[in-house]
Amino acid sequence: FVVLLEDFHSPDHALLVAEKIRLALNQPFDLNGMAHLVLPSIGVAFYPQHGIDAQQLLKHADNAMYVAKKGGGNRFQITLDLAPH
């Protein structure tokens, strides 16, 4: 899923939201009597640093998510590519 933040105060605010989402998804839930955990990998991209349209931003956030997965998951990663494409 995608979370779009408009009018956030700073990149730190967006990262705080990403961390809150990560922590919320880390709460165990019961499914048919078995406890399950979701360990999310979250990619973050900022407008206009990482893209000037939705397609670019989603591409960079998706790439960052895969970096987070490769790093073990259960974390967020800001896109590493700072040049909009």
Show me where the domains of the chain are located. Answer: 11-78
Nearest to 73 by CA among 34, 30, 42, 33: 42
State the pTM of this model: 0.83
Give residue 85's pLDDT. Answer: 38
Average pLDDT, the chain: 90
- Band of pLDDT at residue 84, cut at 50, 70 and 90: very low
Instruction: Assign 3-class secondary structure to the chain.
Output: CCCCCCCCCCHHHHHHHHHHHHHHHCCCEEECCEEECCCCEEEECCCCCCCCCHHHHHHHHHHHHHHHHHCCCCEEEECCCCCCC
- Band of pLDDT at residue 8, cut at 50, 70 and 90: confident
Fold of 11-78: Alpha-Beta Plaits (3.30.70)
